[in-house]
Structure 1
Amino acid sequence: MPEISLTEILTLAAALLAAGAITGLFAGLFGVGGGAIAVPAFYELFRLIGVPDEVLMPLCVGTSLAIIIPTSIRSFNAHRAKGAVDMTILRQWAIPVVLGVVIGSIIARHASPDLFKIVFIIVAGFSGTRLLFGNSNWHISDKLPPRPVVALAGWVIGLASALMGVGGGVMSNLFMTFYNRPIHQAVATSSGVGVLISIPGTIGYVYAGWPQAAQFPQIAALQPPLALGFVSLLGFILFIPMSTFMAPLGARLAHGLSPRHLRLAFGLFLVAVCARFAVSLF
């Protein structure tokens, strides 16, 4: 393993602290804490410090999944203690979601870097468009579809989340509210989906990226002990406390905006990120 200089470590650490601060600020402002913000932040950070395009998006996605683990577990336990989680649908989703994550992790080992961006553009673009133009009263039905359809939805959520680096909250919320489930129940259940996605997803990205580090020995951000496979350990250690510290500031800023303006701002943010990734494809 090549020697990693102290300067490289300090530069990477400073950049991660800055990215964590920005992510925490945005998370508090928009009331979210998942990969929809972390992945774009990691993308710009790792790109600026010279991580090659071949491994740039997988490193962002894997690290994002890792930082979701503690927050999703804490959130799930809190919601479950209040009886807000729909354990029935969560049990129906358990195997399909994990299966989708496993398949997504396998794809991550061999896929073109552009695939990660395309999946992010499709899902985040749809979510952003719905925030900008949609109606929260839109419903498909007042009851959930047959069990095979629910299972298929779980598989798609797991697969897409594993390729986006998110906890699945946006997609599972969307699915449940389309079938007229209360938003508080949808949010609570989505926290459990985050646990199902983040833990196997992180393990999968460690496995997927393990052989890649040897191909880029000059890239400190990919080398142990700073990283395991496609998961930046330094990012995991530094990102969470900094984003947690900055989130209350974002929340205070949010109180100065109306719910509609917040929804529009987050929608514009997602659309801007999609545009950024779309430009990078060409």
Structure 2
Amino acid sequence: MATKESMQHVAQRNRKNKFFHQLFFVSTCFGILALALLLIQVIVQGAGWLDWQFLTSYASRIPENAGIKAALVGTFWLMMITAPLTFIIGVATAIYLEEYAKDTRFSRLVQTNIANLAGVPSIVYGLLGLTVFVRMLQLERSLLSGALTMTLLVLPIIIVASQEAIRTVPQSLRNASFAMGANRWQTIVRVVLPSALPGILTGSILSMSRAIGETAPLIVVGAVAYIAFLPKSPFDSFTVMPIQIYNWASQPQAEFQNVAAAGIIVLLIMLLSMNAFAIYLRNKYQKKL
């Protein structure tokens, strides 16, 4: 009897596994199909408008003359300021929480807040940046205000990713370093960080990929849709590709929809390049280890 019941239980479990397997497969196919249709539509609309003139021209009210130069350069400026700030602060915070902070109520509170901040809507960070950087610190609606706001936005992501990477380093490596006479900081710099570097770099670049596609915080901080010059310092006005694409998509002329699609292609190429670079770095440093 027990054998018969166990066989029925196994058969029932197999049916459930097969059902959920098919359900997840269909869901995956649905998502891939929707993404493929979206990409096909964007490529069909924008491929004919993507040329050198589009990359080297400023925005214009005439669709044929419109370009993404100011938004492209503004995006690079934003990433060049945001990336080092995010990496230094995020990795330093992860090192402190994993290597120095003890398991106290305060450290658990900090961990909980970091995890919660990763799920806060981006518009909230925009309001925070407007209050602190634009008004309190009087940085005005500048590139620096936008970069600091984006730093706050992606910091929880890189902190969590760096913590996970540091946790994967075996404790035996730390003990071996201590046995050789190294202190805690030397162990972190020479053993822990090199071992965790692939995961840290991957998390950093993927967090930058999120920052490069955000629009709401920068609109609140004051990124403008039309700029006919290139920013020369962190205190200049700026625009970025998501805002420029949104501006084109909101125009009534049908041609601007094609221009927006061309801008989306440029943004996708940049995002895919950053993701490919993250994979390259991860594989490179994993081979060294």
Normalising by structure 2, we get a TM-score of 0.30
Normalising by structure 1, we get a TM-score of 0.31
Q: Per chain length, whose mean CA-contact separation is higher, i.e. which structure has more relative contact order (CA < 8 Å, sep 6+)?
A: 1
Structure ID, larger Rg: 2
